């Protein structure tokens, strides 16, 4: 089992969340919500309006997202889906817990305010203009930015 922090289209209410609850892809369980302890730029880029957390700590906002526990099959699915290592790279990020609902037996219980380290799909290889794009604290495909995610098939 691996914990994954999602901040983009995999969050609840976002276009790819259902993929984590398709049993053909493996298993995922929502554990809680959190913010990155450091600031990162969360930008929306490419013609497909894809959200990317750029690995530039100290720039942007503390990014809001959700922590899921996933089995090895789901982790493999997500790595393929996110085109690791070309489009995204999975790295560990430090988080401050906001809400915790995970209750699985034997599972660590985290209270709001506690600090944990979790895997996240970030990107270290980006176009030169991406760091100067507008940054968001919490991604919403339907947000006021008008940049609706439009690549449901392949990403
Ligand atoms: N999917 C991953 C990375 C960005 C995206 O759209 C996520 O939701 O965290």
- Whether 47 sits among the annotated catalytic residues: the reply is no
Of 82, 99, 105, 152, which is the active-site residue? Answer: 82
* Cβ(8) – ligand 1 distance below 6 Å: yes
Per-residue pLDDT tens listing for the chain (155 residues):
999 999 999 999 999 999 999 999 999 999 999 999 999 999 999 999 999 999 999 999 999 999 999 999 999 999 999 999 999 999 999 999 999 998 866 667 888 999 999 999 999 889 999 999 999 999 999 999 999 999 865 44
Q: Which two tokens stand for residue 26?
A: 């493996």
**What CATH code is assigned to 2-125?**
3.10.490.10
* Cβ(121) – ligand 1 distance below 6 Å: yes
Cα–Cα distance list, 112 to 28, 33, 34, 126, 154 (Å) = 21, 9, 9, 33, 35
> Each residue of 53-78: b (16+ CB within 10 Å) or e?
bbbbeeebebbbbbbbbbeeebbebb
Residue where the block lists tokens 């030169």: 128
* Cβ(15) – ligand 1 distance below 6 Å: no
């Amino acid at each position: 089992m691996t914990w994954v922090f999602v901040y983009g289209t995999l969050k609840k209410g976002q276009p790819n969340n259902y993929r984590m609850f398709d049993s053909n892809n493996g298993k995922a369980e929502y554990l809680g919500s959190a913010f990155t302890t450091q600031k990162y730029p969360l930008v929306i880029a490419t013609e497909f309006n894809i959200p990317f957390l750029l690995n530039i700590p100290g720039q942007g906002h503390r990014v809001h997202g959700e922590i899921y526990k996933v089995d090895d099959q789901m982790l493999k699915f997500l790595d393929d889906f996110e085109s690791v290592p070309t489009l995204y790279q999975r790295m560990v990020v430090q988080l401050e817990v906001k809400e915790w609902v995970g209750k699985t037996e034997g599972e660590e219980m985290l209270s709001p305010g506690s600090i944990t380290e979790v895997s996240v799909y970030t990107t270290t290889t980006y176009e030169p203009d991406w760091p100067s794009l507008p940054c968001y604290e919490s991604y919403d495909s339907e947000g006021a930015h008008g940049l609706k995610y439009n690549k449901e098939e392949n990403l």
